[in-house]
Amino acid sequence: MDRRSFIKTMGAGSLGAAFWAGTPWPVLSESGYKKLTILHTNDTHARIEPFPEGTPEYSGQGGVLRRSALIKKLRKQNPNSLLLDAGDVFEGTVYFKKFGGALDLELMTEMGYDAATIGNHEFDNGVRGFVDVADNADFPFVSANYDFGSTPMSYWVREFITRNVDGIRCGIFGLGVDFKNLVEPHLHRGVSYKDPVEVSRDLVDRLKNYFQCDFIICLSHLGYSYDSVQVSDRIIAEEVPGIDLIIGGHTHTFLDQPEEFIHDDGSKTLVTQVGHSGLILGHLDFFFDYDKQVVAAKSNNIPIDESLG
């Protein structure tokens, strides 16, 4: 399938049957179950304006104004929403060269992002470059497997956060890719990488048993999948039960719907990613029963293009 056909079909994917067989969505919506909407982006790469008309790929697609209007519309439909980003906000256009990421963070604040993780390109101007613009973000950064030591980034980045959305306690943590061959040592000086599998196992246990989280989200900048042994979102999903949703980045992977992983204990992990450059807004709905257990999930990713106005 070519990319244009792929994009047109993205809104059709549904995971409802995986959790709830045969029940129409209107029935779920009207039956008293709590509905949590997750909106997400990754690898936006300073793409503030749409791609210029006539470019070989993505002509006229994307753009922060369109994304912002869509987010407002979807939040009006369901105020019980979280807006999240899986890293690499920085680098990619002249806006980053001019403003060093400050403009991107200001616009994300205006759009009401609830959290973002740290991608490798957040180090493009070094630790100090990130710190110099971080106060433009009125939302938290999360990254559990980067040890920020005594660097000033430790002030701006947390291991995880928790958010209570309509009585559902959500735990949100971040994972970053290995610096090797991606980030020059002098750019991440004082920041070290830790094994994301071990970190995730420990953190999921804490979020569930100490912080009493009902729903756990990982914002991952590890990458969706590799031919090598490099840790990816799929490996985390397979080896770390207890994560309900992994929102991925780094590999610029367009997934028409999340991939589902079922663990030996019957729990499920969904892995999703929406390409790059703000071309698509990820959109997931989760329904919870009275015991705060997920009974249904549905994906309806939305292309950001001229059809939005």
Domain boundaries, the chain: 3-308
Q: Which CATH architecture has domain 3-308?
A: 4-Layer Sandwich (3.60)
Segment 31-74, tens digit of pLDDT: 678 999 999 999 999 999 999 999 999 999 999 999 999 999 99
**Rounded distance, CA 134 to CA 126, Å?**
12
Nearest-angstrom CA–CA distance, 222 and 233:
6
- Given a contact cutoff of 8 angstroms between Cβ atoms, the answer to whether 98 and 133 are in contact is no
Average pLDDT over residues 122-147: 98
If one compares 30 and 16, the residue with the highest pLDDT of the two is: 30
Instruction: Write the pLDDT tens digit of every residue in 230-289.
Output: 999 999 999 999 999 999 999 999 999 999 999 999 999 999 999 999 999 999 999 999
Burial of 210 (0-12, 13-18, 19+ CB in 10 A): exposed
Please give the Cα distance from 204 to 210 (Å, whole number).
10
